[in-house]
Amino acid sequence: MSEKNYDFRMRMDHFHRPGMLDSEARPDADETVISANWRISYDAEASEDVIATAKDLQDFFLVSYELPLIIAPGAKDGIYISRDDTLPSPGAAKVDVTEKGIALSGRDVKGVRFAGVVLEDMINLREAPFVKQCSLIKERLVTPRILHSGRAIDDFTNEHLNAMLHAGFDAIAIFVKGPDMTNTGHLDINDVIRRAASYGIETYLYSYLPAYKHPDDADAKEFFENVYTRIMEYHNGAAGVMLVGESAQFPSKDPHTTGKKYSESVVDGIPDPKPAPGWYPCYDYPKWICMVRDAIRKAKPDAKVIFNTYNWGWTSEELRRSFLEKMPKDVIIQITYDIFSQKEREGLPFVAMDYTASAAKPGFYFSSECRIAHECGLPILSTANTAGMTWDIGVIPYEPVPQQWIRRFKELDYARVNWGLTRFYDTHHYGWWPSVVCDLGKAFFQSPQEDPEEYLAKLAKRDAGEGAKLLLEAWNTWSEAINYLTPTNEDQYGPLRVGPAYPLIFHPNITRQMGKKEIAFPAAPYAHFGGRIVKTLYQPYENINQAPGAIRYPIELRSLDKLIELWQEGIRLYEAAINAAPERKREHLSWELNMGKFMLHAFKTCRNTKQWWLLNQAMIHAPNTKVALERLDEIEALAKQEIQNAQEAIPYVQKDSRLGWEPSMEYVGDEWHINWKIRQVNSVINGDIADYRKILENTAKAGF
């Protein structure tokens, strides 16, 4: 069966999974059995969160276990839900299970909603409505855990908010350009804030607000109050504001910078070699932040102010320390986990330029920034990406490498224990999807804390039954494979961003119009970024922390070959796991396997594109036409190979409409775009390659 574009949203909204009941399960002596004659109850004067939790549980039992439980207001039996302000912390939940009934309670809205999810998770792991008798208090070790929407940019339906709650997250971020204005147009932000709060979810305003004003200017206070006080007055229910250097540039007086916006840091067409202020820890940035903070808190004294420092994570530890020492102690410092982390392959350093799951361990920036911020007494939040998605492949919903994510979870937990990292920004605008990664994070970043390896084994049993061991092996093989990914800028803004839809551009410029070789990647006109964040002319984007592309590419190719080999083995193991799993579990597993097969073709596109660049360079710089023609033959063969690779990817995007889509780009890797790429490569074969062959053959006739 095929899905139409955006059909994935219907699946995402149905977070209560059908077919969970193991009909052969039998209760243990210490388990309480929930039967069809049970009811869900609460006091007659119960609050809205209690009633909403009851309704959600009613849907859960009906959809997942075919138990039609009634709701009984005013009763206190069966599953009884209530508030309990004696619980130890905000958001805390309690589950009391006796022989006669189950009592769920929470300290507040967040805790009550959380309590219902805790009970659901216990039942789902058991695969039957049997609950071990216990008295359990659950608290969050990390809060907030902030998400962007996985449906579309800033699109938060009630169903989507509820899915977030069930996946373990308790905050959202909205891109804001002004009151009720986002980057994609008008949005009733206060409505989102109110509805999110009913699920115990906070809302943060991710700032794209005007900021270009120096704090020393005479009118600076008036300017910032007109922007930031106004936004907090209008959206007073928001928990706080998130600020990022590149989105909060200002005319710094620091002589190490251009002192101008990035787009204006050019003189007579010559780029200024200095960084723009948004990409450097300017000495006057703390003063700017203080003025923005004061403007925000004039409208809401308890508003949280978050500032992200990743834009200058490349600078020295000493320079970043100087910046942090000047920061106000009531501003939360946001630190990215994976960026600038390093690996060595065959004696060469490779640096993570952006978000990537291949970074199991953090880099020098994360570790030093956390340590210094902690020493300075600053609260910390991390761009952790523990919702399971990065830029490794831009058009998938999550990366199915749970053992790799566990390695990151443990490093983040070390930072929690040692540096006070208790807040996460769990995804950027590429969204999220309910997955085994979310389930793992939910269990690991709560108290009492689950052992992640043991809990993953339970999740594998829940999802694959008798195929659990094979599923764990498949996940582990993929988790090993992802370490061989080379997360370079040219890959993450190229073939890995859009997968098999990525074009192959012939490098020799055969033109009468003397045009550029870069082509526009087609995307919807209403997309937030669209094709603007896809670089179609593949080439090395060099960096002082890594070797030149011509030297590192052969190493990267060997690394990608190993990744592809392991990924194929993971697919084989996953197929075996599905065959061993009970019939009722196979459809759920089939979606992840389908995604894994799509990812294989994306990795192959990346490998082929890198080889394409090397062959084009070898042909252009060939010592004679004989060698050039040999390279041209290889180029044409590679183009045909990549066409076949793209064609083979089409059934996977036909099955799953989430593949090939990303919230800020919209559809860039679906069936239409893959076919566009096939047309483009065929055009190269029949046009540029054929013409260049004539050029070389004519030159050979002249004896060269």
C-alpha to C-alpha distance for 690 and 694, rounded to whole angstroms: 7
* pLDDT score recorded for residue 63: 97
Provide CB contacts within 8 A for 685, sequence distance 6+.
636, 639, 640
State the burial class of residue 574 (Cβ atoms within 10 Å of its Cβ: 0-12, 13-18, 19+). buried
* pLDDT score recorded for residue 161: 98
Predicted confidence band of residue 640 (pLDDT cuts 50, 70, 90):
very high
* pLDDT score recorded for residue 330: 97
Give Rg (Cα) of the chain.
Answer: 27
DSSP assignment of 588-631 equals HHHHHHHHHHHHHHHHHHHHHHHHHHHHHHHHHT-SSHHHHHHH
C-alpha to C-alpha distance for 59 and 243, rounded to whole angstroms: 39
Mind spelling out the 3-state secondary structure of 15-61? Answer: CCCCCCCCCCCCCCCCEEECCCCCEEEECCCCCHHHHHHHHHHHHHH
Does residue 486 surpass a pLDDT of 90? no
Phi-psi region of 696 (alpha: psi -120 to 50; beta: other; left: phi over 0): alpha
Work out the angle at residue 206's Cα, subtended by the Cα atoms of residues 203 and 209, and round it to the nearest 5 degrees: 130
| Residues 424-439, mean pLDDT to the nearest whole number | 97
**C-beta separation of 115 from 104 below 8 A:** yes
Cβ neighbours around 30 below 10 Å, total:
12
**C-beta separation of 172 from 201 below 8 A:** yes
Does residue 519 surpass a pLDDT of 90? yes
* pLDDT score recorded for residue 261: 92
Helical spans, DSSP H, in 381-451: 402-419, 436-444
Q: What is the H or E stretch that residue 103 is in?
A: strand 102-106
Structure confidence by residue, pLDDT tens digits, 270-279: 999 999 999 9
Instruction: Give the N- to C-terminal CA distance of the chain in Å, as an integer.
Output: 56
Could you identify the residue written with the tokens 């109050």? 225
How many whole angstroms from its chain centre is CA 213? 32
* pLDDT score recorded for residue 482: 98
* pLDDT score recorded for residue 543: 87
* pLDDT score recorded for residue 544: 85
Closest among 343, 408, 345, 422 to 379, alpha carbons compared: 422
Does residue 449 surpass a pLDDT of 80? yes
C-alpha to C-alpha distance for 585 and 578, rounded to whole angstroms: 8
Q: What are phi and psi of 122, to 5 degrees?
A: -60, -40
**C-beta separation of 82 from 103 below 8 A:** yes
All structural domains of the chain: 8-137 (3.30.379.10), 145-459 (3.20.20), 483-701 (no CATH)
Predicted confidence band of residue 80 (pLDDT cuts 50, 70, 90):
very high
Does residue 340 surpass a pLDDT of 80? yes
| Residues 71-80, mean pLDDT to the nearest whole number | 95
Cβ neighbours around 698 below 10 Å, total:
11
* pLDDT score recorded for residue 130: 98
Predicted confidence band of residue 235 (pLDDT cuts 50, 70, 90):
very high
**C-beta separation of 103 from 83 below 8 A:** no
| Residues 683-698, mean pLDDT to the nearest whole number | 97
Closest among 66, 106, 98, 107 to 79, alpha carbons compared: 98
**C-beta separation of 399 from 388 below 8 A:** yes
Q: Taking all residues of the chain, what is their mean pLDDT, rounded to a whole number?
A: 96
Structure confidence by residue, pLDDT tens digits, 153-197: 999 999 999 999 999 999 999 999 999 999 889 999 999 999 999
C-alpha to C-alpha distance for 41 and 101, rounded to whole angstroms: 11
Predicted confidence band of residue 38 (pLDDT cuts 50, 70, 90):
very high
Does residue 126 surpass a pLDDT of 90? yes
C-alpha to C-alpha distance for 639 and 59, rounded to whole angstroms: 51
Closest among 270, 252, 610, 269 to 261, alpha carbons compared: 252
State the burial class of residue 346 (Cβ atoms within 10 Å of its Cβ: 0-12, 13-18, 19+). exposed
**C-beta separation of 489 from 599 below 8 A:** no
Provide CB contacts within 8 A for 294, sequence distance 6+.
224
Predicted confidence band of residue 573 (pLDDT cuts 50, 70, 90):
very high
* pLDDT score recorded for residue 77: 93
Closest among 499, 494, 487 to 552, alpha carbons compared: 487
Does residue 1 surpass a pLDDT of 90? no
**C-beta separation of 618 from 638 below 8 A:** no
| Residues 671-686, mean pLDDT to the nearest whole number | 98
C-alpha to C-alpha distance for 399 and 405, rounded to whole angstroms: 9
**C-beta separation of 449 from 141 below 8 A:** yes
Closest among 320, 361, 337, 304 to 424, alpha carbons compared: 337
**C-beta separation of 170 from 142 below 8 A:** no
Q: What length does the chain have?
A: 704
What tokens does 53 get? 């939790």
**C-beta separation of 41 from 73 below 8 A:** yes
Does residue 74 surpass a pLDDT of 80? yes
Amino acid identity, position 422: T
Choose between 263 and 122: higher pLDDT: 122
Q: Which residues pair with 83 in a beta bridge?
A: 106
* pLDDT score recorded for residue 13: 86
Cβ neighbours around 332 below 10 Å, total:
18
* pLDDT score recorded for residue 247: 86
Distances in Å between the Cα of 217 and the Cα atoms of 14, 207, 208, 214, 287 are 53, 21, 21, 6, 12
Secondary structure of residue 479 in the 3-state scheme? helix
Provide CB contacts within 8 A for 318, sequence distance 6+.
none
Does residue 372 surpass a pLDDT of 90? yes
* pLDDT score recorded for residue 473: 98
C-alpha to C-alpha distance for 376 and 370, rounded to whole angstroms: 10
Secondary structure of residue 367 in the 3-state scheme? helix
